[in-house]
Structure 1
């Protein structure tokens, strides 16, 4: 990959999109992970106002500290970058206290985790609304179009997605060229939605390098019968997640009414 040229291309794309949309800047949620670090840096490089937002909900201290380290790094080099923090912990606690708790435990925990992401989306759009900014997505290709590893109307609720055509290894490559802090480059990817130490790999059953391999094999038309051992396991994990998450990956289905019935 021609990394520096890809960076320039995305920065120009962001600038052009903002100009054509008639908006004044960007809002990016900062998680302490590589994706939000790369996206916020790309936005900063446009020269347009870029608001980095921390939205902790009982986050692990390591995630909070990495996010703050990255924001400090950005603000030291880009005068167009600003920051704000909205602690949504008490909002989430109140929400959790008001909703039913008698559901299946696994379903309850997953629904509450997704609710965290949706509360953050609401906060980002509030800030974008009052500032006339765009909410910028931080999903990569594997998450958005491979295994559907995002929350619908949560971190999937965005205006634009600048890195959604890049797989995770390519995002890391951009991060190294953009001088993203080493603590973020070395951190194990996690969505931080469950309030514990589980990683993305713990949830998915495979790491991103494995999933990238499976995505390429699937695109070539391969089937699980052509693999054995760990490769077979990973390919089946990818295929299963890709299948069950098509409701996220594909556009919302529309019931199109025949003209003769209108």
Structure 2
């Protein structure tokens, strides 16, 4: 991949989209991860005002410090970048206190993790509405169109997706070209939604490199029976997640009423 040419293409695409939409800039949720670091830098490179929003919810300190390091560097490089920190911990805790108490379980943990993501989406759109900005998504191709590793109407609720046609490995290439801090480039990818140290690989059961391979194999119309060992295991993980998360990747189903009933 030609990182310079791809970067120039994305920046031009963002500029053109914003101009045609008649908006004033971009808002990006910054987490201390590679995807949000790359996305916020791409938005900053457009010259449009770019608001980076930190939204910790019982966040691990290493994630907070990486985000702060990135934002300090970004503001030094781009005068059009501003930042704001909105601690959503109390809002999240108040939500838990407001809903009926349930027995702890993995399903409850996942529901609360998704709630975190949706609180953040709401916050981003608050700022977007205030400033006439677009919410820039931070999902990559594997997450958005491969395994559906994002929250519906959470981090999946955006106005445009600058890096959604890039594999995770390509996002790392872009991030390196853009000069994203080393601490972020070396960090294990994590969504930070569970308040612990679990990584994306811990949750999915496969690394992004493995998922990229499986995505390519599916595109070649391969089947699990054609593989053995770890390759077969990874392919089955990928195809299962791809299947069960299609509801995230397809348009919302609409019940069409026959004309004779109207």
State the TM bucket, normalised to the shorter chain: over 0.9
Q: How many angstroms does 1:98 deviate by?
A: 1.2
1:155 maps to 155
TM, length-normalised to structure 2: 0.99
Q: Alignment partner of 1:144: what SS?
A: helix
Bigger mean CA deviation after superposition, 185-194 or 93-102: 93-102
Give how far 1:144 is off. Answer: 0.4
Q: Is the 8 A contact 1:38 1:171 kept in 2?
A: yes
Q: For the residues of structure 1 that align with 2:161 and 2:222, how far apart are their CA atoms?
A: 28
Equivalent residue number for residue 244 of structure 2: 244
Match of 1:66 in 2: 66
**Which stretches in structure 1 are left out of the alignment for 5+ residues?**
none
Structure-2 change in CA distance of 1:227 and 1:39 (3 Å): same
Answer yes or no: is the 8 Å Cα contact 1:30–1:54 preserved in 2. yes
Q: 1:86-235 counterparts in 2 under 5 A?
A: 86-103=86-103, 105-235=105-235
Q: TM-score, normalised by structure 1?
A: 0.99
Q: 2: CA distance between counterparts of 1:209 and 1:100?
A: 41
- Which deviations, in whole Å up to 9, do the C-alpha atoms of 1:29-58 show, x marking residues without a partner? 000000000000000000000000000001
Distance 2:220 2:256 in 1: 32
Runs (4+) of structure 1 exceeding 6 A deviation are none
Is the deviation greater in 249-258 or in 51-60?
Answer: 249-258
Measured after TM superposition, the shift of residue 261 of structure 1 is: 2.2
Offset, 1:117: 0.3
Aligned length: 262
Equivalent residue number for residue 50 of structure 1: 50
- How large is the RMSD of aligned CA atoms in angstroms? 0.8
Alpha-carbon distance in 1 for matches of 2:45, 2:156: 23
Cα distance per residue 1:222-249 (max 9 Å; x no partner): 0000000000000000000000000111
Structure 1 Cα separation of the partners of residues 256 and 194 of structure 2:
38
1:79 alignment partner in structure 2: 79
